[in-house]
Chain A
């Protein structure tokens, strides 16, 4: 029984882990915090053992819970006492590093919509279901996020991005 559960855990972590980790990193831009959220999300999964109706339902559940856990990280009082050192991130090119640095300047709510739109390829309605916003608001946020990124990247001389 335990082995069976372990196998199921491995499968769900393999299936949803990268998605959870990337969204957490997209939101928090910190490897360590993304790792904390990663663990918290899967522990919540164990606690809830939700019955997914479809793959889409499973994906939406994990994205939504990841977002909630990210918010908790921001709220943790731990944030105020701890100082980051630069972290070992796997980026290779100047553009990747530059984009990472510039995304840090973007408000979190815009990072979410950019990530869900560009990486997860989700439509506005689906993004809205996950973030709790109306589709029109998502579209507006996407528009602003793009405009802000354009301005930031131009200021930093990263037009190629």
Chain B
């Protein structure tokens, strides 16, 4: 059934004729040597993919500002790491390109480079797009050779130092674990830089004067082909009664006014025109959306029963500012809020969320046309010329009061460059210097803190109501190095695209990237990778061995697409923490106790399921002692005990004879769960809060017992395996999990990371 629906869906999909024609025209342009720098067609807000992946960044701008010659610092870092100066240099027109080093992971080859405007003409910025090409001159398998020789249009600006006008950039080359790039000769070509100059997120439109019966014009089927900027068109194709007819430019200019091309006929692939001839609103003069933009609303009215907003887009010239625009429809009275949500989603969207979840907007589509010399609308406007864009919304005149409309604009400027640097792939930079986590710092949960030569990388879960904040709640971040705290500041626009791949449920829903050379942090020569503590929002967490989360072993699982982010073995069994597809991807689990190996089966009675992460429990075939466990084997991959999730003090409990596996803060107290809980062994229970210690009393309900079962992978074999116990302890004063620093049982402290929240 899936195949039939999928096939029928695909049969509906085909490139539209205008796309095919446009592509053929561009192919012809390319053969003539006309090169388009940047995206091959105008980008619009309205045409992005539904999966909106956004990241916030932290930068070392404060630290960088405190250190003169930040670029030199980076270069020093490069020297320190590579034992050599920059790999390659190239300079043109006062722009200096220096390649600092490379890293090569299984998926991508990354090249780090700096760009400096030596003329100090402000040609660079922190929010620019750098358009570059990377070529590897190496023999690869025939089919793939062309691919590695291709262009990568974008890369990310990691940091910009305004004082020296230097940008630190990273460019990734997708090798997808297929290519052995070792020894390759690399050529990095800088093609252009595009700076964001201005962004307007909410320009409300007055639609009260919308025409109910507007003048319309037929849009004619004609396009001009030739050079990309249309300065030298080589011909004109017109669809008329004879079919498609090509004219030389001169001839067309002679007859143009007399030629009567046919209006565009519908092919059924654009729904809003309902199979009729394409009619555009007759453009009015209009007023600028904002001064200097050149953008105008030139028509608002109903065409063929749909509400249409027509926008005039001025022509663009390379090297001058250009403004893009989109028109958004929101529920009446919610325009500002909607704009804020869009903005927030751009900055805060954790991983991938559909915008439609957040606000209402009517089905919309748009088309472009331009006016020819005779004032006739012509389909397929040129890329650089002035044109009109029409937005159509599925809204009738009667419904119009229910909605409001606003424009969002983005002004950027692109400058072409042509700088090339060539270098051999040699010694790589280390990609990680230290990894810590998971941990809770104040009221913020952090899954992983990575310190790299190029910055600090933070990932973590979404906020959970009042229980804890996600890393979106990080307002300030410092690394404590000896007596000095090195501050990091958030930087917008890192373009950290890898989060796009976090959709597959690794649990890392959001990432911050911090910038600057941590190898040469400014704080008295302290090396940040030797930081002793992480400070978030003023709360401090030691980065001691106890909180170190070693990833040894996990990588081998990730290579198998088994997304496990943590393992623990308690007296209750084996717990795997990971992504939503954990159940399917885990084929076998065994407990390793020295020489002995105990096969485990899935325990359906335990575990938790969240939107991004899950915890699954597995039961060994017979009783065991958690203290003797040396490793857990998953799908044949051994995760050593050193790589288990932090014990957070539980091991000390087990050694004291208390087989407690979970402590959970609940309403009015806490619950202690385990396999073999005896009243007499638990003498005192206290909750350690930031400003107080709250004593707990065992609840009158005492110890409760529930059964656990193991099911096989086919959900058939059922067997009672153990009897889980839990004891409720109550407090006289309410305690919030966010205040809890730990729980003390008989003077043994379980740290905050080891304390769960109520699942009920």
A pairs with B: yes
The answer on a CB contact under 8 Å between B176 and A86 is no
Q: In the complex, A106→B125 CA distance in Å? A: 36
Q: Is A148 an interface residue (CB 8 A)?
A: yes
Q: Are A99 and B152 in contact (CB under 8 A)?
A: no
Of B10, B12, B51, B172, which one neighbours A92 at CB under 8 angstroms?
A: B12
**Residue in B6, B342, B408 whose beta carbon sits within 8 Å of that of A118 in the complex:** B6
Given contacts A72-B152, A108-B503, contact A21 B2 (CB under 8 A): no
Residues of A that sit less than 8 Å from B by CB: 2, 5-6, 9-10, 13, 17-18, 20-22, 25-26, 28-33, 35-36, 38-40, 42-48, 50, 57, 60-61, 64-65, 68, 71-93, 95-96, 99-100, 104, 107-110, 114, 118-119, 129, 131-132, 137, 140-141, 143-144, 146-149, 153, 160-161
The distance in angstroms between the C-alpha atoms of A148 and B129, with both chains bound, is 36
User: Which of B18-26, B64-72, B589-597 participates in binding chain A?
Assistant: B18-26
Other-chain residue from A89, A137, A148 in contact with B561 (beta carbon distance below 8 A): A137
The residue of chain B having its C-beta at the shortest distance from the C-beta of A129 within the complex is: B143
Decide yes or no: A46 and B12 within 8 Å by CB, A30-B50, A161-B2 being known contacts: no
Query: B144 to A42, Cβ gap below 8 A?
Result: no
Q: In whole angstroms, how far apart are the Cα atoms of A82 and B172 in the complex? A: 22
Partner-contacting stretch, out of B40-48, B291-299, B524-532, B614-622: B40-48
Contact A71 B342 (CB under 8 A): no
CB of A47, distance to nearest CB on chain B (Å): 7
A-contacting 9-mer, from B369-377, B493-501, B540-548, B744-752: B493-501
Report the bound CA distance from A130 to B73 in whole Å. 42
CB neighbours of A143 from chain B (8 A) = 584
CB distance from B713 to the nearest CB of A (A): 12
B538-582 at interface with A (beta carbon < 8 Å):
560-561, 580-581
Name which residue of chain B comes closest to A141, CB basis: B561
Interface string of B1-31 (1 = CB under 8 A from A): 1110111111011110001101110111011
Bound-complex Cα distance A76 to B53 (A)? 10
B44 to chain A, nearest CB (A): 7
**Which residues on B sit within 8 Å (CB–CB) of A80?**
52-55, 346, 493, 495
Q: Which of B20, B497, B503 contacts A75 (CB 8 A)?
A: B497
* Interface SS, A side: helix
Q: Are B143 and A57 in contact (CB under 8 A)?
A: yes
- Is B149 at the interface (CB under 8 A from chain A)? yes
Q: Indicate which residue in B15, B28, B147, B410 contacts A64 across the interface (CB closer than 8 Å).
A: B147
Beta-carbon contact of B361 and A86 below 8 Å: yes
In the assembled complex, the CB of A52 is this many whole angstroms from the nearest CB of chain B, namely 10
CB neighbours of B346 from chain A (8 A): 80-81, 83
12 A-B residue pairs with Cβ-Cβ distance under 8 Å, sorted by A, are A17-B23, A21-B19, A31-B47, A33-B47, A60-B143, A68-B147, A72-B174, A78-B39, A78-B154, A83-B355, A85-B45, A107-B505
Out of A9, A82, A147, name the residue touching B47 (CB < 8 Å). Answer: A82
Query: How long is the Cα–Cα vector from A100 to B356 in the complex, in angstroms?
Result: 14
A85 to chain B, nearest CB (A): 4
- Top 7 nearest A-B pairs by Cβ distance? A32-B47, A77-B495, A107-B504, A82-B48, A30-B49, A132-B178, A88-B365
Which residues of chain B come closer than 8 Å to A89, judged between CB atoms? Answer: 12
Q: Which of B13, B362, B584, B585 has the most CB of A within 10 A?
A: B13
Asked whether, in the complex, the Cβ of A43 is within 8 Å of the Cβ of B364, the reply is no
Closest A residue, CB atoms, query B172: A75
Interface residues of B in 325-367 (CB under 8 A from A): 326, 328-329, 342, 345-346, 354-356, 361-365
Among A25, A40, A91, A114, the one with the most B-chain Cβ atoms within 10 Å of its Cβ is A40
Quick check: which of B76-84, B265-273, B693-701 contacts chain A, the rest being far away? B265-273
